A and B are shown apart, each in its own frame.
Chain A
Amino acid sequence: MPSPPPDWVKALKPSEPQGSDLLAQERAQSNVDVEKLSEYLHTKPALERQKKMLSLLQPDKVFDKSQNHSLGRVERLKRSLAKAKRLQILAEQEKWSMEELHTANDLIGEPTPYGLHASMFLVTLREQSTPEQYKLFFERAQKYEIIGCYAQTELGHGSNVRGLETTATWDPEDKTFIINSPALTASKWWIGSLGRTANHAVVMAQLFVGGKNYGPHPFVVQIRDLETHQPLENVYVGDIGPKFGYNTMDNGFLLFNKLKIPHVNMLARFSCVDKETNKYVRPALPSLVYGTMTWVRSNIVLQAGGVLARGVTIAVRYTAVRRQFQDRDADPHSGETQVLNYKTVQIRLLPLLASMYALHFTGRGMMALYEANQSRMKAAATPGQSSRGAGPEELRAGAELLADLHATSCGLKALASTTAGEGLEVCRRACGGHGYSSYSGIGPFYSDYLPTLTWEGDNVMLSQQVARYLLKSARAVLSGKAADNDTSLILRKYLNRRDKGASFDILEEDADIVAAFAWRTAHQTFEALKHRDAEKRSWNSLLVDFWRLSTAHSQYLVVKNFYDAITSPAMTSSLDAETKTLMHSLFRLYALHTLEREAAEFFSSGAVTVRQITLTRTKAVMKLMDEIRPHAVRLVDAWAIPDWQLDSSLGRYDGKVYDDLFRRASQENPVNDLVFDPYPWNKAILKDESPKSKL
């Protein structure tokens, strides 16, 4: 690394006022009890866990982050594997719980090549194995004796699982499955941990028995030799190359040339091929297969709030430290204005501050729903592999809840990940020029997060599932056979008042804001229903309407969840009065800012008037920003994201923005080790280097 700067440089300080003083001032002007709010958001055990893991990981050299953004792809992947190994050793030594391992991964802040083994591979084996397979695969995988991944997506097919091209053909002669890739587009693609790391894969393939296609099914396939780690014969596997982000993960491709695997390798908890009769045995509970996906999506919603919080923490702290121009109306001798005082900066950051709280509370709501559903399903379905299943009524109750949860999780996953992903970019741009530096901590994190907007179902594709669910509910309401749930309720309310008009007092009444969001969703649902059922328009021609409908419905759910949270006894009893009032302001800012952005839809549905929108835009939102502004730094502090996790010069807790930017540029930047030859006619790139360099 470059040699340290001369003394006269070391002696330099940033100009006054110092970032640390500015942040101290910020923290002094608000009474929000940061510790209490942190505990309310994350729980005390989670905060203690974070502290413990941080003290363990940060001093360990293998987890150093300083070179992350300067390294090439190959070097980054090598180091990431080294980190993953070290983590696993620590986990074993320290007997970490699942939560502790997750916390450690969050703190490290990059995906590692063990990522898909530890998540999808293990989860799939656990959930879809028979007891025999559980022993054979899951238990060995848990000990990392075999390392795996989950191979579903293909080069030619992503969202449409039924379109997968890889085949698994049952051979009744020798009782094996033949795994084959009939076309180049059948190549598995994007599969995390597959490229260089895994020696096994759960492969989703079209099952053919007796010439008949039974659709995609999961197979455990060994792909590399356990000794040499070379691909087995008739397996072709590798890493797919550099990406926008996620470069510490070896996303892979995988092709098979009529590879034979034994009968036991088809994961057979829910469906199998009978070895004796060569018959396909139908799934007992097909809906359970979607359980994993729903769980993953719920998790994405919960995490979205935290992801956004990272960007907002950095941007709020930095714009409080950064100063630019004097106020045009102020006394010319006053200093420059903190950037966060500009309304054009507030309107970008403060609604995002509100959004991260909104998403957090919504995520919590969804997880609660998921767990409620799980216990209901568990109660309904008999444990173990007994053939005597649950009674039909219990199953239907579970299935209805699952449909509701599935629709909710689709829409919210889309809205939450889009809000977080796009929010990070807004935060990065709000940091001005320095936001473009990797040391801002936002850019690289944004790049790693972006795939969340497309995986587990492309966000735009998912909106169709929400629309389908809402149309179905609307039809049920009209025929008087609706289930007793919130969706039916808002649709019925709308029908009852449709001819009288809405007249919600969104500027005064919090509950009316929720009602206005419900009204708009219901209005769009019945409009879509009219297009589809009465006007018989094609499904395809309605996709844009469905997309808008899904967004409207998900926004309603966020507003409702946020409202439920701030009026809940749990919050009322945990927070002091001032913080509670602020939570109400954040709720109103999130809701009214969203309403203003979607003004045309609210207006067209009759939920609000143009006058109300004008007042929202010019008065209410401005006033809320004024109320929240003094508390902005404390409200991000409460998220309790450690500096080491932020990995940002701009977002440091102590506000020493400029010192840290300069230190990294001058001391951690390998480019400054090199002396270049600048002249075009000298072919040598470096001074005193032979012209025949590696290039």
Chain B
Amino acid sequence: MLDFTDKLRPSQPDGPTTLARERGQSSISTEELGRHLLSADGFLERQARILPIVQREPLLSKDKQQNLSRPERFKLGLARAKLLRRLVDKHQWSHEDYKMAEYLVSDVSPYFLHLEMFVTTVREQGSEAQRAHWMPLIDSWKIVGAYAQTELGHGSNVRGLELEARWDPATKEFILHSPTLTSSKWWNGSLGRIANHAIVVAQLLLPKRDAPFEYVSHGPNPFIVQVRDMDTHLPLDGVVVGDIGPKYGYITMDNAYMLFNNFRIPHSAMLSRYSSVDPETGIYTKPEQPATVYGSLTYVRAQIVHHARLVLARAVTVAVRYTAIRRQFKDRDGDGSGSELSVLDYPTVQIRILPLLATTFALHYTGLAMRNIYENAREDIEQGNFYSLAYMHSMSSGLKSLCTMLAADGIETCRRALGGHGFGGGSGLIELNNDYLSKPTVEGDNWMITQQLSSWLIKKMASAVEAPTSPSHDEIEVRFKEFVQVKGAGRNSPLSGYLVLENDEAIVKSFELRATTLAYDAYEQRILKKRSWNSLLIQLHKLSKAQSQSILVGKFFEAMSTDSTLSPSLKDILLDLYRLFALYTMENEAYEFLRCGALSQSILDLIPARIEDLMRKIRPHAVKLVDSWMIPNYLLDSALGRYDGRVYEDLYNRAHRLNPLNRMTFNPNYWEDEIIKGSGDGGSSILSKL
């Protein structure tokens, strides 16, 4: 359908012209930087190979999905998930290939829990016999599973779960039973409408040895349970299960509720690699190492941290490209001629976006480091050594909290920096925001889990105080003991502040001193002054944040000082990004740096000017820097962030051609009930659905 709008073009200078100029003014080789960031484990090659395959599937087109109702959108999500699984067969994809396709499509898959927690739990916690029975069924998709731990009344506190699994010695079965409404399973993904099996975590109740009619709880244990009929897909008798309804995001996921009414499951349902109940005696064998249960949770957190860089990079890519193209107001100090300023040239826009651009790199190097820690910890565990798991688990909790917060808040900051168009469906940041905002609360609420890192640090500090000259096992111990020794020598503050503006390593030192001081304060309050745990929670949260920020800064610097592959000009720019990230973070927490003597007042006063200076230096490279993250247009799904800069044409196309509302004519007169003109429905079709 042609009309007079077809020949209209955006006013000059248009997006493509602007982006060409942006790319012309920077010497960065996006290929070099892209390879540096993403070539490990074949990411770039894989992206290039999978992208054309998913892009040509009509079902995977993202054009109209934001208009759909929850049921329709969920159906579309399932249809896509099925298709992706069939594409695995068709193209002989590896699991990594499949993950890439899922990442590009960017729907939360209703099969997610089947593919992740369900199979991981069976593999890690099933006995040999259980694995032999279940793994083939799972791998061949004969059964579809989910993972049901969280309940309506209990989330983070796993020990507080209410669902009961009571051992019946007579029939040698467990009886799953929900004693209260709050014991309903809740939030469990893939279970609401999809799964026919689930790992169900329940309080294991066993008869007391000396009083067989009295039961005692042995804590939460995992059971593998069939919940729906394999034929009709309806819930089995004694099971009530359904979807919990609309959410902020995750629209394509069927998060579930589930209740049991004296539902019997066989002895073999209890996953028994680490703990088991003897079917003859009813005696419970404890796990050899309770910590192993946290293994998969730690892995999930490491993944979340590693993924955060790409999530934030998506938002920053959109923000940098669009604000380079968008123009608003002429320069006040200019002569009034010339065109309007690019929004990205306003320092008030730069200070919101460029530190986030730097953050994507900080997240990258820490994500890499965490993966390495995880690999090492896995090896140790396989050899029966659980020492590094504690370290890993504590670090992962602090980093998960900080990194997801940085990414989630970063997405929203970018979205708002886009001005009005950031609110529109064409920004590409709406669904990203909706889906990603679950991250600060899933797998451990960000405010709760920071206690784990802090409590670990307090213990470390206590032993450092106790034996300041003993040999150290890790970098934290080294740092803490040094601090204790200096403190003991009466030199409270090592110097009148680090020279953070002149020396890149001094920045790392200042972050470490701040974190160590906060750790010592917490130790002093809790151990020496016996303050209550609750009254210290805010302080502990700050400690966890300080330690995690010090890791981000330290890993970034370490990567810069050990790398020998980057060209000198590129490394200079990355070093500026390092400084920007560190100094920006420092300025926001200035009080803590001042108080512990890591920073002097005179240096602090110079930081804002230095930040603006760094932003001026980074600004010409901004577009090339985001280009280097190599995020395809298909994934961005953003009119504002398109690689070619055709922002306004795309926005108009979405509004004009892809919008179903524009195919209907409304009746605006309030005295007529009719809603759609000419339908003559008198509004009855609306009311009848209520």
Contacts and interface: CB of A to CB of B under 8 A. Distances in A.
Interface residues of A, number: 154
B668 A64 contact: no
A15 B675 contact: no
Given A183-B10, A687-B232, 12 more contacts: A14-B152, A85-B683, A113-B668, A187-B5, A195-B662, A197-B668, A229-B668, A432-B156, A437-B248, A610-B595, A672-B192, A681-B141
Given A14-B181, A613-B591, A329 B426 contact: no
B9 A183 contact: yes
B587 interface: yes
Classify chain B's interface size.
35 or more
Contact of B670 (A84, A243, A345): A84
B425 A678 contact: no
Contact of A683 (B82, B250, B666): B82
B492 interface: no
Nearest to B178: A12
A197 B666 contact: yes
B445 interface: yes
Contacts of B666: 78, 81, 113, 196-197, 229, 250
A299 interface: no
Contacts of A82: 673, 675, 683, 686-687
A665 B608 CA distance: 50
Contacts of A255: 4-5, 8
A160 B186 CA distance: 48
A479 interface: no
Nearest to B7: A184
List the 9 closest A-B pairs by CB distance, nearest first. Answer: A72-B69, A680-B85, A69-B246, A88-B670, A242-B66, A600-B590, A443-B248, A438-B246, A238-B662
A5 interface: yes
B420 A438 contact: no
Best-surrounded residue of B178, B345, B433, B665 (most CB of chain A within 10 A)? B665
B588 to A, nearest CB: 9
Given A336-B160, A672-B243, A680-B85, A659 B144 contact: no
Contact of A71 (B69, B160, B445): B69
B420 A70 contact: no
Contacts of B196: 678
A671 B74 contact: yes
A72 B68 contact: yes
Nearest to A328: B533
B340 A429 contact: no
27 contacts: A15-B179, A71-B69, A84-B670, A85-B669, A113-B666, A156-B648, A159-B329, A182-B11, A196-B668, A230-B665, A241-B659, A241-B661, A253-B655, A344-B447, A436-B247, A438-B247, A451-B423, A461-B328, A539-B332, A540-B341, A599-B590, A600-B604, A610-B591, A665-B242, A670-B69, A677-B233, A695-B59
B427 to A, nearest CB: 8
A14 B652 contact: no
Interface string B50-94: 000000000100000011111111111011011001100000000
Interface in B564-592: 587, 590-591
Contacts of B535: 343, 622
A72 B72 contact: yes
Contact of B534 (A196, A341, A455, A672): A341
A323 B156 CA distance: 11
A675 B442 CA distance: 27
A669 interface: yes
A26 interface: no
A544 B656 contact: no
B441 A453 contact: no
Contact of A229 (B156, B601, B677): B677
Contacts of B412: 425
Contacts of B655: 238-241, 253
Contacts of A682: 82
A126 interface: no
Given A61-B690, A344-B537, A244 B433 contact: yes
A160 B441 contact: no
B644 interface: no
A640 interface: no
Contacts of A433: 150, 155, 186-187, 441-442, 445
B605 interface: yes
B339 to A, nearest CB: 10
Contact of A195 (B153, B590, B661): B661
Contact of B425 (A182, A242, A695): A242
Interface stretch (B201-209, B253-261, B299-307): B253-261
Interface stretch (B129-137, B346-354, B387-395): B346-354
Contacts of B244: 437, 661, 665, 669
B331 A540 contact: yes
B245 interface: yes
Nearest to A6: B240
B492 to A, nearest CB: 15
A451 B111 CA distance: 34
Interface string A644-672: 00000000000000110110111011111
Given A72-B67, A671-B71, A547 B348 contact: yes
A664 B245 contact: yes
B180 interface: yes
A666 B242 contact: yes
Nearest to A157: B328
A662 B184 contact: yes
Contact of B347 (A246, A540, A677): A540
Best-surrounded residue of A242, A246, A432 (most CB of chain B within 10 A)? A242
Nearest to A256: B4
Contact of B86 (A8, A114, A681): A681
A77 B667 CA distance: 12
B233 A675 contact: yes
Interface string B490-521: 00000000000000000000000000000000
Best-surrounded residue of B79, B247, B655 (most CB of chain A within 10 A)? B655
Contacts of A6: 240, 261
B513 to A, nearest CB: 16
